[in-house]
Amino acid sequence: MTTTEGRTVTDSAGDDGRPAVVLHSSGITPRQRGGGARTIPLVSQQVGAKDFLNGITMFAPGSAIPEHIHNCDESVLVLEGSAVAHIDGKEYPVTVGDNSFIPAGIRHFFHNTSDTDELHIFWTYASIDANRTVIATGVTTRIDEEHGTNIA
């Protein structure tokens, strides 16, 4: 067993030799995303994932990541706070325990509409090669690059 910043690599390994890993979100330094958002990357290629990425993003009151699309499916679970999910031009109120499924190519974003409380979401992308294309700029970035978990 090996423990590093926010990560414990267990002595157990899967059929392909990849070890099981316990991720301690409180021990992982959040990545500042700009605009009042910060992300704790969790499952990534850095911990051995082959098929998906996940993590937690926290939004300051009133903040949002700009409208965007992904090249793969995404699921978002609200952990704390409430927001408006903007999906394909329509608004859907969401609160703790609400979960979304957003297929690849649908424009969306989550906006923390509170003036006082943070919004925390747990997200999962259905590919380790997930990317984000911001609608306003057309700029595409790999999710693992945004979160500093890419494997060079």
pTM: 0.94
Predicted pLDDT at 89: 97
Predicted pLDDT at 152: 64
Comparing CA positions, the residue from 121, 115, 144 lying closest to residue 131 is 144
Pairing type for strands 53-59 and 2-4 reads: unpaired
* Residue whose entry in the numeric block shows the structure tokens 């927001």: 83
Predicted pLDDT at 2: 75
Predicted pLDDT at 5: 81
Low-confidence spans in the chain with pLDDT less than 50: none
